[in-house]
Structure 1
Amino acid sequence: MNDCGGSAMAELEDEEERVSLTLDSQVGVVVDGAVDYKGQPSIRSKSGSWKSARFIIGVEVAERMAYYGIQANLISYLTGPLHQNTATAAENVNIWSGTASLLPLFGAFLADSLLGRYRTIILASLIYILGLGLLTLSALLPSLTKYECQLDSKFTSCSPQLQVILFFISLYLVAIGQGGHKPCVQAFGADQFDERHPKEHKARSTFFNWWYFTMCAGCMATLWILNYIQDNLSWVIGFGIPCVAMIIALLVFLLGTTTYRFNIQECDKISPFLRIGRVFLAAIRNRQTTISSMSIEEESRGILPHQNSEQFNFLNKALLAPKGSKEEETCSLTEVEEAKAVLRLVPIWATTLVYGIIFAQIFTFFTKQGATMERTIFPGFDIPAASLQTLGTLAIVIFSPIYDRLFVPMARAITGKHSGITMLQRIGTGIFISIVTIVLAALVEMKRLKTAQESGLVDDPGATVPMSIWWLIPQYFLFGVSEVFTMVGLQEFFYDQVPNELRSMGLALYLSIFGVGSFLSGFLISVIETVTGKDGQDSWFANNLNKAHIDYFYWLLAGFSVVGFAMFMCFAKSYVYNHKGASRV
């Protein structure tokens, strides 16, 4: 960057610092648009910012520990105590994960339109705790009653029907609780930073980085312990600990109530969902209106075309009033721009779905790969295969500070942007790294299959392939690095680029990428299982992984990812940010 650019940046930062100091020096200054827990104007010095965010981040650490305590080893429970085959178990994991990631759309609607984020978090936490409690009870049932099934004239132990039913009811109660909890907690945390205050605006961007860092740091050690308990000691204790964690999380959240800032909800204001929905309906209603007549009508209402953004001009027709209608029945320019902002997100959302499909493999086939490999750390101790998921978390813990303290300042010096690179550039970088990850996973699986063949273990599904599980380290670690770019970038992007009243929905849209990705993964597995397993042949996902071809599946995903990445780059290049400052934060 040239000297003039550097000077301009320094002057901008100095001015922002002066504004911040002026605002901070005003004792008792209130935060516009926010109230405290008593409904009184929120005092800046006594509320919000990091003093509130710390409580909320603590809640997220406990909630993620509970969620990943279930998801991380779920395929092992389904193929173990519940005796499901590999393909069925993988499909069930994907369906549950997909549902859990799509339900935040409903939770966000509930929060943004009816209850508010604070009340939704409390309600969701209670459902969460109920689900985890019943899940623990379902794991306890086999020890209370012995149940046997007849298989080929022999009797063998199996899961009682009541356990299976209670297990899946509990599992989906957890998904419902997570659906209300996840989008609201992060949005509520980001709400604690006033975007009109320069210092807090910068802190909000940092909040997203440290949110993800602390969440992963807290989960890392916990998952090692939980996965070991579940695999070697007791599933009852392994499910019970997350239940206790969620109870603690709710108590911590309530303790921070006196410090929180709550956005003012205008009772007479139309729901943002209805407001945006009627823009599309009005545009459809006026679809046959000509541009010339529209411009005349706009001019008569004091709205000039150049005030509007140039994308999705067909929505401009929503500005027209049908003959005989009242002025208040028409859509305003602000409402049209809100609808355009939401519509601009669709191509970005769609082109990141393949990333969600790759993400789904971490909890299914990555884990199944590791279960067949040499896992002995020292005599008498085998590392649980699911524990390798913490390697991705470790990568996040290591790389997040590097990104925030080294990468961003270096990139800032080159680009002149406060965040170093734009949100879409950050997302794209992570997608590219994920492509490298899945290619590497395919190569490692090819090596594993070759080792099994050379060792004469192809027909022995229970044998341990003489290949260290540490071969999987690179694919876990690289995907963790990709998460620092893509996950955090998506969180900030979908929070920042939606209308203020829809920020819970924005984060729900981010989560839905992984929900739809899980469903697509399950769909692909089902189709491939049917096609490759017909006529009695071993499918790509055979129960005997030494006869399966997960590597083919990984190569297929790599191909999809390349196409998705190319499309993402095209849409990102033409994307118009919703806020003037968005491209620099």
Structure 2
Amino acid sequence: MYTVVPFLPTEEEEPLPGVSDFRGRPVCHANSGGWRSAFFVVAVEVASTFASYGVSANLIMYMTGPLGHSNAAAAAAMNVWSGTGSLMPLLGAFVADSWLGRYRSIILGCTLYVLGYGMITLTSMLPSLPGDNVDFSSRPLSLKVALFYTSLYTLAFAHGANSPCGLAFAADQFDPDHPKECTARGSLFNWWYFSIAIGIAVAIATVSYTQENFGWAIGFGVPCAIMICAFTVFLLGTPTYRLGVPIPGAKSPFVRLARSLAIVLATKRHHQELQEVDEDAKTSEEAQGVLRLLPIWAACLAYGVVFAQIMTLFNKQSRTLDRRVFGAGMELPPAALQTFGPVAILVFVPIYDRVLVPALRSATGNPSGLTLLQRVGTGMAVSLAAMCVAALVEARRLETAREHGLVDDASATVPMSWAWMVPQYVMIGVADVFAVVGMQEFFYDQMPDELRSLGLALFSGVMGIGSFISGALIYLIDGVSSSDGGDSWFADNLNRAHLDYFYWLLAGLSAAELALYLYLARSYVYNHKTLR
């Protein structure tokens, strides 16, 4: 008889191809990667999300309060900043995939985060001057306002370096050719957003309350401290990470992509037969795959426009409502209502992953229940419904203000419960589980392997361009609606404004783009990396 000794492998495990540890040494499944490494990355991403929402969720109140901006100016400025931050990942992905690598890009992003949050905390400590309380677009900026915007755009650059690499780097910790790790990577996208939602919910619930009750300096300082701790945790995980090994003499993936795009476009223009070596044929196929993604990407932009309203106009709308809870003992900060979005995500992700997916799998025969594009389209439909609900709620709020003679009292609390706002926040949260997670996985999965940071940056670009579109619409409509001396749709006195008209406009825009999306999605052919 032979005695089997447990836990002692009969032969040494083969090293994983194409990856190494931080010192360039080969690694294997047992001593690197997997959930063990992904948890370190998740920690820093949850913290960066906590810090980002801790600052941005209530930022419009700071801008219309201590900085003295008008509603329209503050909303437009926030949209421009948010849009810039969401577009920076395109630059960050280029730098990461071409030179720095994802690991070093995350380190750069964390460093800039700490600097930016430190600067905005310092800004909030500076005394307000008479020059601060003006519309920033009409006069030279004061030192406080200039430092404030410098800190904001430092955070935008930080987001650009970190955002496209965090999820991609976490996914890199799983071997797609290993059955168990491949399955785990599929779940990563759902549970990644679940973890991010925890950071959002906690940030909105706690930091906004701190800002409202203990001051802006403490409210901005907390995210800075959290980010420093998370950066330290990420660095502690360094010995476990799987890092991509650069191929000697290999061209930058962006250079190869640009060259192949030129070949593809030239071939289509001249209707010539392409005869190239195998490498050129492969890169040309990749280029065509990227080109096929762009129409889908453009058809998702309306979702980004809707998403931009959560921290701006929804927040100002909440300020006017009766926000008392437990009788008259406690009043919710306006930004605290945003918590219902991530709470909806926390509740719905397990339901989707454990209940809906198995049920849909039985009905459709698809291992994921829905295809990635079907998942995104479902989210877009829910966001369209959310804007219709938001328009109806705002119309009800304006009617209540008129019934109680509060139209001319900008500071009055409309006798209407904050609970009326809950459905639109919850619907946006549910839409995110479908659309945001679907877009992240779709653009990651359908990009060439070496450009997956760019794929996640494309998702971020949906939010960025959406914010710019929102800002442009607000600026244009504000000028047109007030040009004849009447009240703007975004008047500082929201009881004389018409946010409901704006929400109906966004609902119409969402409906038109959803129709375009469905038309494009029907003809999309997935590449070989996925069966979904």
TM-score between both structures, scaled by the size of structure 1: 0.86
Aligned to 1:190: 171
Mapped to 2, the partners of 1:113 and 1:197 lie a distance apart of 27
**2:66·2:133 contact (CA, 8 Å) conserved in 1?**
no
SS of residue in 2 equivalent to 1:501:
helix
* One-letter identity of the residue aligned with 1:338: E
SS of residue in 2 equivalent to 1:466:
strand
Q: What are the Cα deviations for residues 373-429 of structure 1, in whole angstroms up to 9, with x where unaligned?
A: 001124352101111111000000000001111111111122222211111111011
| Pairing partner for 2:65 from 80, 83, 103 | 80
Aligned to 1:459: 408
SS of residue in 1 equivalent to 2:16:
strand
Mapped to 1, the partners of 2:358 and 2:344 lie a distance apart of 20
Q: What are the Cα deviations for residues 131-187 of structure 1, in whole angstroms up to 9, with x where unaligned?
A: 110100000001xxx6336999xxxxx998111110000111011111111111110
**Structure 2 residue 311 is matched with structure 1 residue 363:** yes
Aligned to 1:19: none
**2:261·2:288 contact (CA, 8 Å) conserved in 1?**
no
Mapped to 2, the partners of 1:68 and 1:489 lie a distance apart of 22
Mapped to 2, the partners of 1:82 and 1:115 lie a distance apart of 38
Q: What's the CA shift for 1:500?
A: 0.6
| Pairing partner for 2:102 from 117, 127, 136 | 117
Aligned to 1:177: 158
SS of residue in 2 equivalent to 1:535:
coil
Greater Cα shift, 376-385 or 106-115 = 376-385
Query: Within 5 A, what are the aligned runs for 1:63-102?
Result: 63-102=48-87
**Structure 2 residue 30 is matched with structure 1 residue 45:** yes
**Structure 2 residue 214 is matched with structure 1 residue 239:** no
Q: What are the Cα deviations for residues 492-534 of structure 1, in whole angstroms up to 9, with x where unaligned?
A: 0111000011011100010000000000000001111111110
Mapped to 2, the partners of 1:150 and 1:56 lie a distance apart of 39
**Structure 2 residue 470 is matched with structure 1 residue 470:** no
Mapped to 2, the partners of 1:508 and 1:93 lie a distance apart of 20
**2:382·2:427 contact (CA, 8 Å) conserved in 1?**
yes
1:150–1:529 CA distance, 2 compared to 1 (3 A):
closer
Mapped to 1, the partners of 2:125 and 2:14 lie a distance apart of 55
Aligned to 1:538: 487
| Pairing partner for 1:349 from 276, 294, 297 | 297
**2:132·2:144 contact (CA, 8 Å) conserved in 1?**
no
Query: Within 5 A, what are the aligned runs for 1:112-191?
Result: 112-142=97-127, 147-148=129-130, 161-191=142-172
Mapped to 2, the partners of 1:518 and 1:122 lie a distance apart of 27
1:103–1:226 CA distance, 2 compared to 1 (3 A):
same
**Structure 2 residue 195 is matched with structure 1 residue 214:** yes
| Pairing partner for 1:489 from 427, 438, 441 | 438
Aligned to 2:5: none
SS of residue in 2 equivalent to 1:84:
coil
SS of residue in 2 equivalent to 1:542:
coil
Q: What are the Cα deviations for residues 315-371 of structure 1, in whole angstroms up to 9, with x where unaligned?
A: xx4x46xxxxxx7xx971101111011111101100010000000000111111100
**Structure 2 residue 263 is matched with structure 1 residue 278:** no
SS of residue in 2 equivalent to 1:30:
coil
Aligned to 1:56: 41
Q: What's the CA shift for 1:29?
A: 3.1
Q: What are the Cα deviations for residues 260-302 of structure 1, in whole angstroms up to 9, with x where unaligned?
A: 11112213111111111112323455566454xx2xxxxxxxx
Mapped to 1, the partners of 2:62 and 2:310 lie a distance apart of 16
* One-letter identity of the residue aligned with 2:95: L
SS of residue in 1 equivalent to 2:495:
coil
**Structure 2 residue 286 is matched with structure 1 residue 338:** yes
* One-letter identity of the residue aligned with 1:71: S
Mapped to 2, the partners of 1:382 and 1:115 lie a distance apart of 47
Q: Which runs of 5+ in 2 are unaligned?
A: 1-8
State the superposition RMSD in angstroms.
2.0
1:149–1:501 CA distance, 2 compared to 1 (3 A):
closer
Mapped to 1, the partners of 2:156 and 2:318 lie a distance apart of 26
Q: What's the CA shift for 1:27?
A: 4.9
Mapped to 2, the partners of 1:219 and 1:409 lie a distance apart of 28
Aligned to 2:239: 258
SS of residue in 2 equivalent to 1:583:
coil
Mapped to 1, the partners of 2:133 and 2:460 lie a distance apart of 42
Q: What are the Cα deviations for residues 230-251 of structure 1, in whole angstroms up to 9, with x where unaligned?
A: 1122100010011111111110
Aligned to 2:388: 439
Aligned to 2:3: none
Q: What's the CA shift for 1:489?
A: 0.5
Aligned to 1:392: 341
Mapped to 1, the partners of 2:41 and 2:383 lie a distance apart of 29
Mapped to 2, the partners of 1:193 and 1:288 lie a distance apart of 41
1:111–1:25 CA distance, 2 compared to 1 (3 A):
farther
**Structure 2 residue 320 is matched with structure 1 residue 372:** yes
**2:117·2:223 contact (CA, 8 Å) conserved in 1?**
yes
Mapped to 1, the partners of 2:249 and 2:416 lie a distance apart of 65
Query: Within 5 A, what are the aligned runs for 1:288-307?
Result: 289-291=270-272, 294=273
SS of residue in 2 equivalent to 1:268:
coil
SS of residue in 1 equivalent to 2:416:
strand
1:149–1:173 CA distance, 2 compared to 1 (3 A):
closer
Mapped to 1, the partners of 2:32 and 2:377 lie a distance apart of 36
Q: What are the Cα deviations for residues 35-82 of structure 1, in whole angstroms up to 9, with x where unaligned?
A: 112211221111111111111111111010011111111111100110
Aligned to 1:314: none
TM-score between both structures, scaled by the size of structure 2: 0.94
**Structure 2 residue 460 is matched with structure 1 residue 511:** yes
**2:174·2:182 contact (CA, 8 Å) conserved in 1?**
yes
Aligned to 1:269: 250
Mapped to 1, the partners of 2:44 and 2:114 lie a distance apart of 13
* One-letter identity of the residue aligned with 1:347: P
* One-letter identity of the residue aligned with 1:332: D
Greater Cα shift, 277-286 or 391-400 = 277-286
Aligned to 1:15: none
1:400–1:369 CA distance, 2 compared to 1 (3 A):
same
Query: Within 5 A, what are the aligned runs for 1:420-439?
Result: 420-439=369-388
* One-letter identity of the residue aligned with 1:470: A
* One-letter identity of the residue aligned with 1:123: L
Aligned to 2:497: 548
Q: What's the CA shift for 1:579?
A: 2.0
Mapped to 1, the partners of 2:268 and 2:528 lie a distance apart of 28
**1:495·1:504 contact (CA, 8 Å) conserved in 2?**
yes
Q: Which runs of 5+ in 1 are unaligned?
A: 1-23, 153-157, 295-316, 321-326
Aligned to 1:32: 17
Mapped to 2, the partners of 1:372 and 1:547 lie a distance apart of 12
Greater Cα shift, 515-524 or 208-217 = 208-217
Aligned to 1:313: none
Residue identity over aligned pairs, in percent, reads 50
Mapped to 2, the partners of 1:25 and 1:536 lie a distance apart of 84
**1:83·1:159 contact (CA, 8 Å) conserved in 2?**
no
Aligned to 1:568: 517
Mapped to 1, the partners of 2:10 and 2:285 lie a distance apart of 36
Aligned to 1:419: 368
